Structure formats: structure tokens, C-alpha cells
Amino acid sequence: MSLKAIKKRQLILNTAIQYILENDLNSLTLDGIAQKASISKGGLLYHFKNKNELQLAVAEEIINEFLEAYETIVEHEKGAGKHIRAFILASQRDLHAGARFNVAIQIMQNSNTNITQMYECLMNDLLRENDIDASTVQLIRLTIDGLYYSRLLNILPVSDRVTDEVIEKLLQMTRKEEH
């Protein structure tokens, strides 16, 4: 694929992600995304044959961005609990960036693809982390799920300040066992 085609594909993905964040997944149309991206529908169809293909590519893009952030953070963390801390910090970054991960979750609930398997592998890796108690890892995961779901469902979503306070408490939980 040429550099121009790669850039066009990325433009379409970014436009679709932004559209879903501002509206909702169900209102996504190929015509609407083509118009917002200022390209022809034919240009969009060159990259994505249908709406489902576009949605799966959006989910994969978001999951890959999350995993890249997670892996980068793991490289910089030290000591026991570094994987779960990386998950917490990658989640915090995503929550501050508009909770893009919620878009991927919405798409994944409607399909059983390798994208779902990528997320399940991450969760299984976190649960296998031997240096943090499994119930603590589950508590952290469920708390982060709650932060995402409260935003997704718009049920008493917490402010960024409160989110940061919760994140700090979760990070403290990963460090307690070092003492």
C-alpha cells in the first residue's frame, strides 16, 4: 500500500473514531464518514468494503494503540506489579483522551474476532501476574471497567480529578506488597 493510501486509511479510521466518540456507534454510516473525511464514498470503499469491516478496523486500531501505550509503560515501570500499573496508567491515559477504548468494547461485543482475543490475552496476562494477589488484580480491573462504563453509559460519570484520585489509589494498591 502506498504512503498516500496508508494516510487516507488512517484519516478514515481517525474520522470514524471521532465520529463514534461524538455520536454513537449505531449512527455510523459509510456515507457520513466519507463526508466528514472529505473523501468520496468510493475512496472509503477502497479501504473498507462495508460498515462492519470499518468498525472492526476501528476496534483493532484502538486496541493496538492501547497495547502500545501499555507496552511502553511496562518498559519504564520497575518492580512487583509493573504490568498491572501499566494497565492502570494506559487506562488513565485513554480515559483522559475521551475513553476511546469504549468504542472498541462496543464493537467487540458484537463480534468474536482476534480483537477480542487480543484483549482477553491482556486480561489473562494481568491475572497471571504472580507478584500481585489475584483478587487485587481483579478489584483493579473491575474498578477500571467501572470508570469506563460510567462514561459509556453516562451514568454518573466521574470528573477527571476524581478519576485521577481513583487511579492513584489503584496504583497504591499495586505497591503495598513491596513494603
Stretch 121-126: mean pLDDT: 82
2 and 68 both lie in a single domain? no
**Average pLDDT of the chain, as a whole number:** 90
CATH of the domain at 8: 1.10.10.60
Nearest to 110 by CA among 56, 45, 172, 176: 56
Stretch 56-64: mean pLDDT: 93
Per-residue pLDDT at 111 exceeds 90 = no
Q: Which residue has the cell 511502553?
A: 72
Per-residue pLDDT at 138 exceeds 50 = yes
Stretch 162-179: mean pLDDT: 85
What is the total count of domains within the chain?
2
80 and 155 both lie in a single domain? yes
Q: Is the residue at 18 inside a domain?
A: yes
User: How far is Cα 122 from Cα 128, in angstroms, rounded to an integer?
Assistant: 10
User: How far is Cα 70 from Cα 45, in angstroms, rounded to an integer?
Assistant: 32
What was the pLDDT predicted at 80?
84
168 and 108 both lie in a single domain? yes
Per-residue pLDDT at 38 exceeds 90 = yes
* Higher-pLDDT residue of 79, 88: 88
Per-residue pLDDT at 176 exceeds 70 = no
Q: Which three cell numbers stand for residue 129?
A: 501476574
How confident is residue 112, by pLDDT bands cut at 50, 70 and 90? low
35 and 65 both lie in a single domain? no
User: How far is Cα 125 from Cα 120, in angstroms, rounded to an integer?
Assistant: 9
What percent of the chain is modeled with pLDDT above 90?
66
Question: Domain of 32?
Answer: 1-49
